Structure 1
Amino acid sequence: MKIIVIGATGHIGSYLVPALLREGHTVYAVARGNKQAYGYQEDEWAGVHWIYATRDEFCADTRRLEEIAPDVVCDLISYHIQEVDDLLASLDTRVHYIQIGSIWTYENKLYLPVDEQHPKNARGNYGKNKGLIEDYLLDLTNKGLRRCTIVHPGHISGKWWVPINPQGNLNPRVYSDIKEGREIVLPHLGMETLHHIHSGDLTAIIIASIRQPDVSVGEAYIAAAPSAMTLRAMTEEMYVHFGHEPKIRYASWEEFASIVGETDAGVTLDHISHSPVCTPEKVQKQLGIHLKYSIMDILYEYMETT
């Protein structure tokens, strides 16, 4: 099949594009500038058709879209309904459109674990807009006007960039401090949660959706590791993994923020205020997905790579 990947060199595309090429598809990779993909290896990207353009520039090029005549479009970087609508206007109605959402669309949790039937009730604009896009695309699909699938990932992680750490931010020193047995400070009692997804597993979900359109069209799927984890559990397990007794200091939010600094504290607050706990049961059952990576697998893989 002819498949367009928009956002081809980011956290998802860096895994997805080589996997689609291995499947034998003709892949058109849309990327801004000439940014190299994470973990780029020339042989794995051989045969890809590069399109260097911003998302807006590409979507406005209706002639090029008509010439490509894709079977599938994987839209990894859409954040507003208007962006989606502008692209769909240039696509044949038979195209399978796969859009990447976010588990942050389920922000105010009414029950746990959160599944795809949970109300979409995000407070922040990011989650709100992702939820509006899902509703819009599924409505078009239910009316027979489009063929859409939505995938809602957790914290997108891979071995080539820093995953959200057990402190809830992106400071790589947290990993080295735990590995060396140094003390780590956690906010409150460390009972807030994180829920990652490895880009390899996310790629498998997208490919399964492409292979099984009779199942995936008209569906939204949560893409997350088998289980969420608390900050405390992640931290304790990592200390033990590296042969140390846990050295965790629990602090009030004010003390925590003063210790880690404004930038890291802001990222932590953003994540622990969501504290996602989701279930990937639907995608496992409907698409036959076997998730390879637990959260700890994700973190250890990154640490082994650095």
Structure 2
Amino acid sequence: MRVTVIGGSGHIGSFLVPRLVRAGHDVTNISRGTSKPYTDAPEWQQVHHVTADREAEDRGGTFGDRVAALKPDAVVDLVCFTLDSAMSLVQRLRGEVGHLLHCGSVWRYGHSLKLPIREGSDSAAAPFGEYGIQKNRIALMLKEETARGGLPTTSLHPGHIVGPGWHPIGPLGNLDPRVWQTISAGQPLRVPGSGAELMHHVHADDVAQAFEKAIARRDAATGEDFNIVATTALTVRGYADIAAAWFGHAAVLETVSWERFREDTSREYAESSWGHLYRSQCFSIDKAATVLGYAPRYEPEQAIFESIQWLVEHEQLHVARALGVPAGLSGVPTQPAA
């Protein structure tokens, strides 16, 4: 098949594009051309590259024409963030493309009501925040588009994406590097809330796996939406305990109020923490496993360890003690590559 990936040089695309090439597809990557993929796989030599500024071309009404001109059988859209952008692409590709796959987000859901959160159920509240609201509107629009006989679409909704080359969402639900310095030094980590709040991570390659399977099982995937996460979620306290063990000691946690937490944290990091911990989400992957054959290779701690190890080795994260590998965690997924 001819597959066009929009935003293929990013977190997911860095793993997805090589997968698609290995599967025998003719792949075109549309990106701004400002960054290299996170993985230096040999399959990139077989990829066609198109440079485009999606945001600018959306404003000019030309981006859909650019994609359609490539005459793809399937389009994977990894960088669509507004309903207007999604609708513009759908309208242009309707009747010309066999399958449009959209990358959504688990933040299409609000805070958890019942766990695990399942697609199409009452297990989560309505989304909040512009990002989550837009992602939910896009998913609903795509489902309706396909249901009424329009463009065949599928939306996949990853959790907190982890992989080598970028910082993972940490135990406090933010990207503050001081959290890792504190944990590695065995110093008290101030934790807002109860410490029982949940975060559901997923390795970028597992997300790529899900997209690859959705393309291969188009008939089953068409008109559907899927949660794409690891098999388990982490609590704040559990995450901190697991991470501290990588540095040879137990976590030292101090429970504080949100007011106190905000006093010692930047506004950006505090808002990120609140957004992640207030949602306290844990998701079911039963639908993706049954319909797509999705089988994540990484447990969340394996994916996070791989990310932290890469950052330390490349001197992008400074920690107080050497990073070790405790018994039972090798950093290597337990299942063979799908």
Q: TM-score range by the shorter chain?
A: over 0.9
Query: Equivalent of 2:275, from 250, 270, 275?
Result: 270
**2:310 counterpart letter in structure 1:** T
1:114 Cα deviation (Å)? 0.5
Residues 183 and 208 of structure 1: CA distance in aligned 2, closer, same or farther (over 3 Å): same
The verdict on how the C-alpha distance between 1:248 and 1:143 changes in structure 2, with shifts beyond 3 A counting, is: same
1:222 & 1:246 partners in 2: Cα distance? 31
Cα distance, 1:190 vs structure 2: 1.4
1:244 to 244, 249, 270: 249
Q: Say yes or no: does 1:149 pair with 2:154.
A: yes
Q: Which residue of 1 aligns with 2:24?
A: 24
CA distance in 1 between counterparts of 2:310 and 2:127 reads 35
Is 1:34–1:52's contact at 8 Å kept on the other side of the alignment?
Answer: no
Q: Name the SS for the 2:43 alignment partner.
A: helix
1:241-297 deviation line (CA, Å, top 9, x unaligned): 432122111111122122233332122112112221111111012111211111111
> Can you list the C-alpha shifts for 1:46-73, whole angstroms capped at 9, x where unaligned?
1211111111427715554343210010
What letter matches 1:303 in structure 2?
I
Q: Specify the SS of the correspondent of 1:14.
A: helix
Q: C-alpha distance in 2, partners of 1:108/1:179?
A: 30
Question: Contact conserved, 2:111 with 2:278, CA < 8 A, in 1?
Answer: no
Distance 1:20 1:35 in 2: 20
8 Å contact kept, 1:28–1:48: yes
When structure 1 is superposed on structure 2, of 198-207 and 19-28 the one drifting more is 19-28
Residues 175 and 303 of structure 1 are in contact (CA less than 8 Å); yes or no, is this contact kept in structure 2? no
TM-score calculated relative to the size of structure 1: 0.93
Pairing partner for 1:112 from 112, 115, 119: 115
Alignment correspondent of 1:207: 212
Residues 192 and 257 in structure 2, CA contact (< 8 A), matched pair in contact too: yes
Amino acid at match of 1:22: R
User: Which residue of structure 2 aligns with residue 75 of structure 1?
Assistant: 77
Which of 144, 168, 175 lines up with 2:173 in the alignment? 168
| Structure 2: gaps of 5 or more residues | 312-338
Tell me, in whole angstroms, the C-alpha distance in 2 between the residues paired with 1:63 and 1:187: 48
Task: Please give the residue correspondences for 1:1-306 in structure 2 after superposition, counting only pairs within 5 Å.
Answer: 1-39=1-39, 41=40, 43-56=42-55, 57=57, 60-61=62-63, 64-93=66-95, 94-119=97-122, 121-306=126-311
**RMSD over equivalenced CA pairs, Å:** 1.9
**Farther-moved stretch of structure 1 (274-283 vs 170-179):** 170-179
Label 1:126 to 1:34 Cα distance change in 2 as closer, same or farther (>3 A).
closer
Question: How far is the alpha carbon of 1:128 from its aligned partner?
Answer: 1.7
Residues 192-226 of structure 1, C-alpha deviations (whole Å, 9 max, x = no match):
21111111100000000000111111110001111
The whole-number CA distance in structure 1 between the counterparts of 2:140 and 2:265 is: 39
* C-alpha distance in structure 2 between counterparts of 1:181 and 1:143, whole Å: 57
- What TM-score does the superposition give when structure 2 sets the normalisation length? 0.85
| SS of match in other structure, 2:80 | coil
Moved >3 Å (runs of 4+) = 61-67
Secondary structure, aligned partner of 1:139:
helix
Instruction: Look up the SS of the partner of 1:89 in the other structure.
Output: helix
- Whichever residue aligns with residue 42 of structure 2, its letter is D
Count how many residue pairs are aligned between Structure 1 and Structure 2: 305
Distance 1:259 1:222, change over 3 A: same
